[in-house]
Each structure stands twice: as structure tokens, then as C-alpha cells.
Structure 1
Amino acid sequence: MAESTHSSSSNTPPPPPSATAPQTTRRWWRWPLFLSAIFTVLLSLLLVQLDTFDAARYPSDELAKKPVFVAPRTNPRVLHGSEKIGEGRLLGPEDIVFDPELGVVYTSCEDGWIKRVGVNGSGVVEDWVNTGGRPLGLALGYSGEVYVADAFKGILKITKNGEIEALTDEAEGVKFGTTDAVTVAKNGILYFTDACWKYDLHDFMLAILEGRPYGRFMSYDPSTKETKVIARDLYFANGVEMSPDQDFVIFCETMMLRCKRYYIQGEKTGSIDVFVDRLPGMPDNIRYDGEGHYWIGIPTELTFEWGLARKYPYIRKFIAFWDKYFQRPLMERNAGAVAVDLDGKLIGRYYDTGLKFVTTGIKIGEHLYLGNLLESFIIRLNLTQYPATAPSSTK
């Protein structure tokens, strides 16, 4: 029996080493990676907590309002069929204003240039005037002059001959932080916004992430050279536009997803109310097309990420930390423009998943022109060939 047992044991092959050793090895090298990841997360949370940046809560009643994403007519594929105007020669064309007399648009670029671009099909780009700063909002005066909201230099006037005159750069003893947009009434009074008096354009994202109302809406009277604050405590004051009847001025409040209006004539003179609310994204510049519609640039839809950031200050603090020391996550999508009627009713939306930071939408003839902070061209879309359609028929 003993001999039989020995024989049976000797015939049993030993287990292969590969059946146990690699599993142990695989489990072993996972631990350093796991501990390293935990350490990195904990260190990041500690550094964020120690950072002095203080994010505030947005008003709860505003957060409770749900944006309207679906317009009666929509084109969700703006890049399909669109053209790139001035590609490579227009660095961050933030705003666009049309001069029908010359048949050109003026656009404000990141390198300080205000450029003129032909809209008659040629697309010829001309370097017109360099402000030496960062021009943002533009307005065409009634004598052919151009008014500029320069982020660093305040409100400027440029004559037809290209001569620059600085008009104003402070109000109530407070310098403008980010002069953003401007429009002009027929009586010569300028209306404009300072997006945030605390931060300049280099740190505009911190102004948004902090969540405090540092924006102002103001006027400048060239006859008296007086700068007046009309509305303060705005959550990133942005685009401005005159009404066609010159009875009110519209100004946009980016982080509240709305535009307000300030009455300058009639029974409501001096009062402010909401013109359009619950926009699908964050409004930037606003333009009237002369055909009963305002066009509002939307740099981003209110994405899931931005929805969380607006709701929770700590998330904004974390994003601000990464924005200051590394690179913040990109949360912008579905940029484009919306069209609203004279009563502020949303009637059309034009956007694309591939678009981010669209700042301006302006309709000229049958084309929609889109300005952008990031691209080196203006987008032009033929609205006759590529119209917005009812959602049920959108492909």
C-alpha cells in the first residue's frame, strides 16, 4: 500500500508557478498606484481648502429657474454648411458691427486690432486701427465713428480717419475692471457695461467663479463728460443694445442667463425690468437686426458641469484652483446664438456641439455672422439654405 501511494504522488505534476505568482505580482503593483492616487486627491483637496479664493453662493431663487433649451425653431448643426471668413487673420473676433454705408463689418480682435471685413462675398480683411489694448464691444455711431469698449482702456471713440479718443475709464472713483460692451443712442449718450470691477480680462473666469455681483451698467454723456452708474451688483454685466424706438437699452447679465432693459423714454423712464430670462446658456453680446429680432451670442449652453458649478460654491473654488495653477476643465458646449423677438420671446436657436465661446451673433441680409473668443475667423451661415426648423423636423 505504501508503495502504491508513493507511486500515485510521484505521478501528480506540481502546480505551475504561473498560476499563483503573477496574480500576487499584479495585486502588489496596484497598491502603490492606488495610494498615489489617494494621496494626490487628498493633497489637492487640502490645497484647495487652503487657497484664499472664496466662492459665494448664487441667489437660490435664480438657481431654481430652469433654462429653456428648446426653441420653436432650431439649427443644431451650425458648422454644417457654414463658411470661415478671414481665417487666420482674425484672432478672437469678439464682437461684430455692420457698417451698411461701407459694406463692411468691424470686428474686435485679441491682438488689439479692430479690423474691417468685406461682407459682399469678398471677405477681404483690412487692419484698420489698433487700440493698444483688447477691444471687445463695438458700436457704430451716427456719423460713421466707431465706439469701442476696450477691456483695459475703457470707452474709446475712433473717428472715420482712425483717430482714437479716450472717453472714460472710471465711475464713482472706481476704475473699470473689464470694459465689455457699448451702444450709442441718437442723442449721443453712450451706454456700456463693466463686466467686473474687481478682476480684469486676464482673470475674467475668476470673476465668474467667485459668484459675486461686481458688474455695472453705466452711461456716458459726451456733452458733459459725465459717467453715471445706472445699475450695479450685476453678475458679470455683458452685451448692450438700443431698442429700435430708442425707448430702452438692453443689457445682458451672463451668470443669471438673462438680459434686462433700462427705460430711457416714456412712463417707465429710469426703471429696469427683465427683457428675457431662462436663456439656454450664458448670454454675451446682443445685436438688433432691423427686422424685429435681437440676436444674442451664447458662449456655452448651461451644461451639466456648469449647472453644478453654479449651484455649489466649493466646485467653483476647485475649478478656480485648477484655473490658477494648472488648466481648468473645459465645460463649454453647444455655443451659438439665439434669436428673440421685440418682446423677448425666444424664437430660434442656432448652435453646434463643436462650438465653444461664441460671443456674438449678428444677422446681415440672409447670413448669420458669429464672433468667437477662441477662433481665428468669423463664421458665416446662410440662413436661407440652412434655416432653423421645428424640433420635430430637425435631423
Structure 2
Amino acid sequence: MSKSTHSSSPDSPTPSTTTRSWHLGLVLSAVITVVIALLLVHFDTYDPAPYSSDELAKKPVFEVPRANPLVLHGSEKIGEGRLLGPEDILYDPKLGVIYTGCSDGWIKRVSMNHDSVVEDWVNTGGRPLGLALGHSGEVYVADALKGILKITKNGEIEALTDEAEGVKFGTTDAVVVAKSGILYFTDASWKYDLPNFALDLFEGRPYGRLMSYDPSTSKTKVIARDLYYANGVELSPEQDFLIFCETPMMRCSRYYIQGEKEGLIDIFIDRLPGMPDNIRYDGEGHYWIATPTEHTYEWELARKYPYIRKFLGILEKYLRRPSVEKNSGTVVVDLDGNVVARYYDPELKLVTTGIKIKEHLYLANLVQPFIIRLNLTQYPATAPSTTK
């Protein structure tokens, strides 16, 4: 028998030639991408600002007395597939349900029983973010696109306000209702809408506002302006002050509603271990501050150098910004702003609300199709010496 052999024709590329061509094409593609990115960085008008020396000053990093760094262990998913980007959580103890606003415009109600039945309640036609319960069972909504809305118990929607001092809200973010009936809320950025929130953070200019709305007069008042992405807002138990968060600054401040300090603003907690989003009071002497991402060395560099933030902004606008969020969760602080505990997980990203309801922690987020629930009795935060 004769043995057949296969030989390449003189014109056929050898494997080594094919490999070299593939590597050359890959390198060329990478070079072109880098050149385009550099040109965009040079010519694009997007212009991040330097932070002041006070904002960049090193601040002490506090110790967290207790932590649960593996929140996903033992947790369960509530409403999986039915809750698209549930950004905030509002508990109604009378009805025994939680409300949450989703990216498809729906405000949904979820029963608190073991079945966790999800009900499509009202669709705002926008993007509902912060939620607050009124004194007669109505729900107030900070809708990123529509402004402040009131929804009656029967599901009827009333638009209350969407501008202040002639400036439209860019990203209506969080809302609370005082005993007086006055609504306090934040406009995270009058310049950027929600899909472009990262551009606000990278630009480094204070476009956020804290405002109030008085239903008796239909007047909207700007309480504080020039805030860095004004986010979550919550009232103190005595309602003598309210707390609001500034995301890129990793801090929450107090605005005094009444008393000797009425009208003044001071720092409630600074240098959080992550960027704060919503803040919730649990009725038991603790605030729960959600952190969509942990503070990183990379973000510290970006805060220091505007050129880095411009590059990140260009990626956000034209290409795709790399995902750097990690160790998302919630920080627990007492009434004086002292850190008590932290719940987080390396696999968690963009947690926007942490709220304790009875013995469970509920975590909402901006992108996942469910709410996370964790039994705090079974999976508590523990001291560092016993944390695995």
C-alpha cells in the first residue's frame, strides 16, 4: 500500500504565518482603538474639574466593629425575574407589603409572606427611584424622569413638581415625608439624567440640590445647592434634622429643620467605606446606608487627577467603561453617625438600598431582576476576630 501525503500548495499560508497575521491584526486593532481614544480625549469638550484641596485631603478611615462580608451566603432572591432594577424599598406595615420602583416604570408591591407574591401596582411612565409613604397611605415617588409624584391608595397619579427656580430636575432621586406634610427630596444632578449618572461623577462639579415641596402651597424650595450628586435622604427620629448623601464624596450631611441650628448644614458621617446611595432609618436607632461600590484606590486616583476622569468619561460616552464596582452592600450607623456594622459581598454590585424589616435585611439594586433578602438572626455581622 502506498501512504498518501498532504502538502500545502506554495500559495497556502503555513500555520506560523496565520498565527503571525492574527497577532498582527490584534495589535493593529488595539493600536487603532488607543489612537481613537486618545483623539477623543484630546478633542472632546467633556471637561472634568479638579477637586478642591479640602475634598482631596486625607481623612481617617474608621474601623468597622462588626461585618458580614459574605451577604450572598444564605440569602434568597425575592421576585426574581419580576423586579427589574428595584432601586428603592418602601415598607408599609399596615398592608404588610413592600413597594419598589423598577426600570420598566412599574412600581410593584411584594407581599411579606413566604411566597413573596409580586403585584404590578402602578406604572409611572418614567423611572421611579425613591419612595416615601404618606400619612394617609399614599405613596410619594421621586421619578428620575417625571419629578415628584403622588400616588393615591387607588393608584391615581398626580404630578407635584419637576423644577425649582426655573431649572428642571435632571435626576429626581430620593424623597421623604415629614410629619408636617412637607416633602424633602434630592435632585442628584440638574445637568445629567440617570443613564448618564457616571458622567456627573467623573466631571466632578456639584450639580445636585436638596429641596422641599409644601403640598399646602404647591411651592418648591431649594434648601441646599452645589451638592456632589445628591442622593439618599432620611429624617431623624425627632425630625429635627434630615440626612442627605453625596455619592462621590463618600459622605452624608445633616440639614437642621428646627431648633437652635435651624437652616445649618454639617457633616453627619464622612469617609464611608463606599459611595453612598439611599439611606433608611430602621426605627430601632440605626441608619442603613447603601453603598453601590466600595471605595477603591483607583477611584482615589481618579478623584485626584481630572485627566483620568476625562478618560473614563470618554469610555462611558463612546465605548464601554470597565466595571470596577465591588464589595457593594450597606453600612449601619447609629444616631450620632458612628459605624456599627457593615454587610457586603465581593460579588455584589450597585446595591442602592439596604433596609432592615423585622429580622431581615433587604437589599435593592439598580440592575438585577430581584431583591436580596438575608435573615440577620441566622447571618449576623460579627466582630473581626470571628469573621471568616
Per the normalisation by structure 1, the TM-score is: 0.91
Deviates more, 1:42-51 or 1:101-110: 42-51
Aligned residue type for 1:275: F
1:136-168 CA-partner distances (Å, limit 9, x unpaired): 000011111110000011000111111111110
The answer for the alignment partner of 2:369 in structure 1 is 376
The answer for the alignment partner of 2:292 in structure 1 is 299
Whether the aligned pair in 2 keeps the contact of 1:133 and 1:150 (CA below 8 Å) is: yes
Rounded Cα–Cα distance in structure 2 between residues aligned with 1:163 and 1:28: 64
The answer for the alignment partner of 1:102 in structure 2 is 95
Local SS of the residue matching 2:85: coil
Rounded Cα–Cα distance in structure 2 between residues aligned with 1:159 and 1:26: 66
Query: How far did 1:315 drift?
Result: 1.1
Query: How far did 1:326 drift?
Result: 1.4
The answer for the alignment partner of 1:169 in structure 2 is 162
The answer for the alignment partner of 2:243 in structure 1 is 250
Whether the aligned pair in 1 keeps the contact of 2:85 and 2:365 (CA below 8 Å) is: yes
Whether the aligned pair in 2 keeps the contact of 1:241 and 1:287 (CA below 8 Å) is: yes
Deviates more, 1:286-295 or 1:59-68: 59-68
List runs of 5+ in structure 2 lacking aligned partners: 1-14
Rounded Cα–Cα distance in structure 2 between residues aligned with 1:331 and 1:69: 23
Query: How far did 1:65 drift?
Result: 3.2
- Counterpart among 253, 270, 273 of residue 277 in structure 1: 270
Whether the aligned pair in 2 keeps the contact of 1:193 and 1:217 (CA below 8 Å) is: yes
Rounded Cα–Cα distance in structure 2 between residues aligned with 1:217 and 1:386: 36
The answer for the alignment partner of 1:137 in structure 2 is 130
Alignment of 1:117-196 (within 5 A): 117-196=110-189
Rounded Cα–Cα distance in structure 2 between residues aligned with 1:360 and 1:25: 52
Local SS of the residue matching 1:318: helix
Aligned residue type for 1:198: K
Local SS of the residue matching 1:233: strand
Query: How far did 1:389 drift?
Result: 0.6
Whether the aligned pair in 1 keeps the contact of 2:37 and 2:314 (CA below 8 Å) is: no
Deviates more, 1:338-347 or 1:62-71: 62-71
Query: How far did 1:68 drift?
Result: 3.2
Whether the aligned pair in 2 keeps the contact of 1:67 and 1:280 (CA below 8 Å) is: no
Q: Does 1:308 align with 2:301?
A: yes
List runs of 5+ in structure 1 lacking aligned partners: 1-21
CA gap 1:314/1:120 in 2 versus in 1, 3 angstroms: same
Q: Does 1:341 align with 2:334?
A: yes
The answer for the alignment partner of 2:350 in structure 1 is 357
Alignment of 1:79-98 (within 5 A): 79-98=72-91
Deviates more, 1:98-107 or 1:202-211: 202-211
Rounded Cα–Cα distance in structure 2 between residues aligned with 1:324 and 1:330: 14
1:263-311 CA-partner distances (Å, limit 9, x unpaired): 1111111111111111001000000000000001100001232222222
Rounded Cα–Cα distance in structure 2 between residues aligned with 1:83 and 1:66: 36
CA gap 1:26/1:143 in 2 versus in 1, 3 angstroms: closer
Per the normalisation by structure 2, the TM-score is: 0.92
Whether the aligned pair in 2 keeps the contact of 1:359 and 1:372 (CA below 8 Å) is: yes
1:40-89 CA-partner distances (Å, limit 9, x unpaired): 42342122111111111122222223473741000000000001000000
The answer for the alignment partner of 1:260 in structure 2 is 253
Rounded Cα–Cα distance in structure 1 between residues aligned with 2:363 and 2:17: 59
The answer for the alignment partner of 2:6 in structure 1 is none
CA gap 1:28/1:233 in 2 versus in 1, 3 angstroms: same
Whether the aligned pair in 1 keeps the contact of 2:98 and 2:110 (CA below 8 Å) is: yes
CA gap 1:36/1:119 in 2 versus in 1, 3 angstroms: closer
Identity %, equivalent residues: 76
1:214-257 CA-partner distances (Å, limit 9, x unpaired): 00000001111110000000000000011111111111111110
Query: How far did 1:209 drift?
Result: 1.1
Local SS of the residue matching 1:348: strand
Whether the aligned pair in 2 keeps the contact of 1:298 and 1:336 (CA below 8 Å) is: yes
Query: How far did 1:329 drift?
Result: 0.8
The answer for the alignment partner of 1:54 in structure 2 is 47
Aligned residue type for 1:260: S
Q: What RMSD over aligned residues (CA atoms) do the two structures have, in Å?
A: 2.0
Aligned residue type for 1:130: N
Rounded Cα–Cα distance in structure 1 between residues aligned with 2:140 and 2:134: 7
1:186-213 CA-partner distances (Å, limit 9, x unpaired): 0000000000001111211111111100
Rounded Cα–Cα distance in structure 2 between residues aligned with 1:262 and 1:322: 36
Q: Does 1:332 align with 2:325?
A: yes
Query: How far did 1:25 drift?
Result: 11
